Amino acid sequence: MLSAIALSLVGADILMNRYFDKSPDLTEITGTDLYEYPFESMNNQLLEEYGGWFEVVNKSGEVIFVKGHKEDEIVKYTKEQLYAKLDITRNDDSTLYHAYPVEAPDGNGYLLLWKNPERPEDITLFLAIFAALFAVFLFIALYIYAQYSVKQVKRPLQQIVEGIREMERFNYKQRLHVSDEKELAEIQEAFNEMAERLQRTSAEKEAAETNKRNMLLHLSHDLKTPITSVLGYSQLLLENPGVEQSQKYIQYIHDKSSYMAHLIQDLFELAKLDDQHLKLSREKVNITKWFQQLVAEFYPEVEDKGFRLEAQISEEPLFVKLDNRHMNRVVANLIGNALKFNPAGTVLYASCEKKDGNAVLWIGDNGIGVQDQIREHVFEDFIRGTSSVKDSTGLGLAICKKIITLHQGTIELVTDDRYTTLFRISLPCTDE
């Protein structure tokens, strides 16, 4: 708006000066061009062309001669009044004053004033030109602004349309990067949040589908071999009732059936732990005493396997809220794995301490350890090591992870210089 006004003023001034204004070029006119003596012989040509009148003022400030049609009633000027009239910034009327010092043949000095009043029609014409130019410049400015606004809006709208099309193709990675205009910024934020949620949901769905496929593959593989063995040995016994080593075959059938029962039980337990409506029966427990008792229950088996127990369990009471049945399974699984997969002479380590407001349980051993290639995946379903023991379902640690998570705790396999396998379980203490 201000630019349009400024351009209109400049344009109106240029047009008035070049085509409409009849004001003389004062830089080309001198006193000798106007003055003649006697005064009556002064040329009327400039007055006829540009208008106004001439006044001859003596040293006393009196108007002694007028040439042309005088339009004011001033007959005498004071010095201050004359200076004010000649100063355009102090002149308070609509008449322009042009002064030329002249001299008569008798040596007397005079001041020749050319007084030219501003015409109302000139002001009207200037205002008309200004209004016309302002309308033109305003229209141009509005047109440019409209084009700019359309481009500013069109670009983000195209991004939004493209983003929606990408979503229709199930590609939720598209994000909007539009103008900082408030309305568009709000649309961008809402769109990106929606895309983020859809992407996260899609990733979770894809991960669930992948886990489901992997579970079915592992399950079919894990059941196929024992079922085949059971069918083969049972068929052999049916066809040859008195076959030698029948007891050995019956034992094979029992072992494979037991493995399948454990596998199905673990799968059932895993499914229950994934149920969002599952509620644990948690109660306040002194975990140091609880852990001591649980480790002590394994002591006979530790001796039978030829292991050495190293327990460092504090006597200081540490209270946590836990589900006894589920947490018993976690500890039993970790200690059971150490006893099952390691040779005699292995040191079994168990410890309990308080750290950063949490009760921390340590369970480990200095046995064969966990292979490097599976260390990062030990808590995933159907992950097994390369041990010669073949009756592991590969679900035990996955179940442990879910149980600890339901207790708002963490479990991790850490690296230690002394113990090749060392699990760290952290559970929040309670004062309730």
Average pLDDT over residues 9-32: 63
Claim to verify: residue 224 and residue 353 sit in the same structural domain: no
393 lies in some domain:
yes
Digit-coded pLDDT (tens) for 347-362: 999 999 999 999 999 9
User: Which two tokens mark 277?
Assistant: 């409506």
In this predicted structure, what is the pLDDT of residue 210?
A: 74
List strand residue ranges (DSSP E) for 370-416, in order: 410-414
Model-level pTM?
Answer: 0.51
Cis preceding-peptide flag for 105 (omega within 30 of 0): no
- Residues 312, 407, single domain; the answer is yes
Residue 293 has pLDDT above 70, yes or no: yes
Residues 357 and 422 placed together within one structural domain of the fold: yes
> Rounded to whole angstroms, what are the CA distances from 368 to 269, 372, 421, 423?
28, 12, 8, 15
Percent of the chain, pLDDT > 90? 22
Query: In the structure encoding, which two tokens stand for residue 59, read together?
Result: 């040293």
Give residues with Cβ within 8 angstroms of 301, minimum separation 6: 339
The domain spanning residue 269 has which CATH number?
Answer: 1.10.287.130
- The dihedral through the CA atoms of 269, 275, 279, 283 has a sign that is positive
User: Judging by beta carbons within 10 Å of its beta carbon (0-12, 13-18, 19+), is residue 397 exposed, middle or buried?
Assistant: buried
**Nearest-angstrom CA–CA distance, 169 and 238:** 58
Domain containing 45: what range? 35-118
Q: Are residues 318 and 384 in the same domain?
A: yes
Confirm if 389 and 350 have CB atoms less than 8 A apart. no
Average pLDDT, the chain: 80
- 3-state SS class at 431: coil
CB neighbour class for 292 (10 Å; exposed up to 12, middle 13-18, buried from 19)? middle
Is residue 255 located within the same domain as residue 331? no
Whether residue 395 sits in one domain with residue 307:
yes
11: pLDDT strictly greater than 70 = no
- Looking at the fold, whether 313 and 420 belong to one and the same domain comes out as yes
pLDDT of residue 22 exceeding 60, the answer is no
Residue 239: exposure state from Cβ atoms within 10 A (0-12, 13-18, ≥19): exposed
Q: What is the mean pLDDT of residues 107-116?
A: 83
**Co-location of 213 and 89 in the same domain:** no
Largest alpha-carbon pair distance within the chain? Answer: 168
User: Are 424 and 288 in the same domain?
Assistant: yes
pLDDT reading at 121 higher than 90: no
Residue written as tokens 């640690």? 397
Residues 270 and 306 in one domain: no
Per residue in 136-172, pLDDT (tens digit) is: 777 787 878 777 777 766 677 777 778 778 777 777 7
8 Å CB contact between 79 and 58: no
Classify residue 260: in a domain, yes or no: yes
Contacts of 279 (CB under 8 A, 6+ apart): none
CA distances from 392 to 217, 234, 285, 341, 373 (A): 16, 23, 31, 10, 18
- Which among 118, 138, 166 is the end of a domain? 118
* In a domain? residue 332: yes
Q: Is 228 among the domain residues?
A: yes
Least confident of 88-97, 303-312, 337-346: 88-97
- The reply to whether 322 and 225 lie within a common domain is no
Q: Does 125 map to a domain?
A: no
Residue 196 has pLDDT above 70, yes or no: yes
Residue 395: CATH number of its domain = 3.30.565.10
Q: Is the pLDDT of residue 418 over 80?
A: yes
Instruction: Specify the DSSP class assigned to residue 69.
Output: -
Q: 131 near 4, Cβ under 8 Å?
A: no
- Could you tell me the pLDDT band of residue 424, with boundaries at 50, 70 and 90? very high
Q: How many domains does the chain divide into?
A: 3
Residue 373 resides in a domain: yes
Answer yes or no: do 236 and 190 share one domain. yes
Please check whether residue 243 lies inside any domain of the structure.
yes
Question: Of 68, 88, 118, which marks where a domain is finished?
Answer: 118
Which of 255, 274, 293 corresponds to the end of one domain? Answer: 274
Helices (H), 31-92: 31-34, 45-50, 79-86
Task: List the single range of 91-95, 205-209, 384-388, 426-430 with lowest mean pLDDT.
Answer: 384-388
In a domain? residue 4: no
State pLDDT tens for residues 386-398.
554 555 667 888 8
